[in-house]
């Protein structure tokens, strides 16, 4: 499976959404009106906040909030998770009638922030910072200004089939070097077996390799952006990818293929990187291998390193919200309150696999791992470890979604050996610099 946040089922939506926003003209929102709060209500000490989101369970969470917060009421609107949804949000922001709060992927928050469509609420949010993991807080604070509160995380780890690893004499990998060596060993025994799968439309695995290596393709500065696809850390990631490709260690089954699950369940691909949000899916798609799986931390670049990647959802505060303090209070409740998290993390009432972005996730890890598929005793420890080890170096840039789509166009060529991983990085370095400069965004090469 691919790493979140770049799984194609979610990635294609996010790319389209952020791209649509990026095409909108930059607008000034200084004169925006209140986002759903009437002057009379505010004068009476009662406010009503508009909240747009798409995740299951949010409407029930809002109902729970409203029942206990009579002076801060929230009206929830289900926003579509397609290009139209973000076009609608951008249009509302331009017109001055955007909601006070909206659900963002971390990369989409950067796009909105770069266009001035969300507001800095650091003065209200800073008091909550210690509640959340450092990586989650950073996702809500691109460039150092806090634009909302993290409400969901999706840390990544490594899943493998125990019986097949034993059958072929493979070790549980602690490093990428070890995984590659075992992949070569597996290939020598049976060339039809692969250690992992990278889908031809989805370069998410490469993003994860870069993130875990400590690379960051974008770096926000006071004068613009530093673009660095060819840093030493990025080249480490390219080296791993190149070995996986050159040594024929990867299956390349598309996520659009209805038979994708068989590549693992049938035993032709032995392992995958995966995440908290993906785990609930597996209980129904691995009938032959259910109970044969185990998880561990993702392979590292050096033994003893602690680094993984993650996705984050943010409850962002839109520009023009007349009640940012109350909006931030609600967003913090949504991301950290036990009553809210009971609703949003419960598969029956919320989004299966929805995982809190907290500094302490100990109360929530047991419920996220499918016990039948992964019967090992230390799954909670592995998931908690992953949540605490998300590398904080990574940053998204204002054109990340369109850049990702451009990278995806070259990805099949990389997988079939027609383009090297280093050439891919070099190509994206040049493309991103040109793209940002064409938008009037100051960008300089980092290496």
Per-residue pLDDT tens digits for 345-364: 987 888 888 999 999 999 99
- Section 10-29 average pLDDT: 32
Per-residue pLDDT tens digits for 47-60: 999 999 998 899 99
- Both structure tokens of 308: 């993984």
- Domains of the chain by range and CATH? 8-154+311-377 (3.40.190.10), 156-308+395-445 (3.40.190.10)
Per-residue pLDDT tens digits for 113-159: 988 999 999 999 999 999 999 999 999 999 999 999 999 999 999 99
Residue 26 has pLDDT above 70, yes or no: no
Q: What is the pLDDT of residue 281?
A: 85
Residue 6 has pLDDT above 70, yes or no: no
Residue 248 has pLDDT above 50, yes or no: yes
Residue keyed to tokens 């995966």: 274
> CA 55 to CA 347: how far, in whole Å?
12
pLDDT > 70: percent of the chain: 89
Q: Where are the alpha helices (DSSP H) in 247-351?
A: 262-265, 279-282, 324-336, 338-345
> CA 202 to CA 15: how far, in whole Å?
12
Q: What is the pLDDT of residue 45?
A: 74
- Section 17-37 average pLDDT: 31
Q: What is the pLDDT of residue 428?
A: 98
Q: What is the pLDDT of residue 86?
A: 73
Kind of pairing between the strands at 196-197 and 72-78: unpaired
Least confident range of 169-178, 219-228, 368-377, 419-428: 368-377
Q: What is the pLDDT of residue 102?
A: 96
């Amino acid at each position: 499976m691919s790493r979140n946040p770049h799984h194609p089922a979610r990635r294609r939506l996010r790319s389209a959404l952020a791209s649509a926003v990026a095409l909108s003209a930059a607008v000034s929102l200084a004169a925006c009106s209140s986002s759903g709060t009437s002057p009379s209500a505010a004068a009476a000490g009662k406010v009503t906040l508009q909240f747009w989101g798409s995740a299951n369970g949010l409407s029930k969470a809002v109902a729970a909030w409203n029942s206990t917060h009579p002076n801060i009421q929230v009206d929830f609107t289900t926003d579509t998770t397609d290009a139209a949804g973000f076009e609608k949000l951008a249009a509302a922001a331009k017109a001055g009638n955007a909601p006070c709060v909206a659900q963002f992927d971390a990369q989409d928050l950067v796009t909105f922030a770069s266009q001035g469509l969300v507001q800095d609420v650091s003065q209200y949010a800073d008091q909550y910072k210690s509640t959340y993991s450092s990586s989650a807080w950073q996702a809500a604070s691109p460039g150092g200004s806090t634009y909302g509160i993290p409400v969901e995380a999706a840390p990544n780890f490594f899943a493998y089939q125990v019986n097949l690893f034993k059958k072929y004499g493979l070790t549980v990998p602690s490093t990428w070097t070890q995984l590659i060596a075992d992949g070569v060993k597996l290939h020598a025994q049976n060339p039809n077996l692969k250690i992992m799968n990278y889908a031809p439309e989805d370069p998410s695995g490469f993003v994860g390799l870069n993130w875990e290596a400590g690379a960051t393709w974008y770096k926000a500065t006071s004068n613009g952006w530093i673009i660095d696809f060819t840093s030493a850390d990025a080249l480490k990631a390219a080296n791993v990818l190149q070995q996986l490709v050159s040594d024929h260690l990867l299956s390349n089954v598309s996520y659009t293929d209805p038979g994708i699950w068989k590549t693992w369940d049938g035993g032709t691909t032995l392992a995958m990187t995966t995440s908290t949000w993906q785990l609930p899916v597996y209980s129904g798609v691995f009938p032959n291998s259910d109970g044969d799986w185990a998880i561990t931390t993702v392979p590292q670049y050096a033994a003893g390193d602690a680094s993984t990647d993650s996705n984050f959802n943010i409850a962002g505060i839109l520009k023009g919200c007349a009640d940012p303090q109350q909006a931030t209070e609600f967003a913090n409740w949504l991301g950290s309150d036990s009553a809210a998290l009971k609703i949003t993390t419960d598969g029956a009432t919320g989004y299966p696999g929805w995982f809190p972005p907290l500094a302490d996730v100990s109360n929530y890890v047991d419920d996220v791992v499918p016990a039948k598929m992964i019967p090992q005793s230390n799954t909670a420890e592995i998931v908690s470890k992953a949540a605490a080890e998300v590398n904080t170096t990574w940053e998204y840039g204002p054109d990340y979604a369109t850049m990702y789509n451009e990278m995806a166009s070259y990805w099949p060529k990389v997988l079939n050996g027609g383009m090297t991983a280093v050439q891919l990085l070099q190509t994206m370095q040049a493309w991103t610099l040109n793209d940002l400069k064409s938008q009037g965004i100051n960008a300089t090469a980092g290496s």
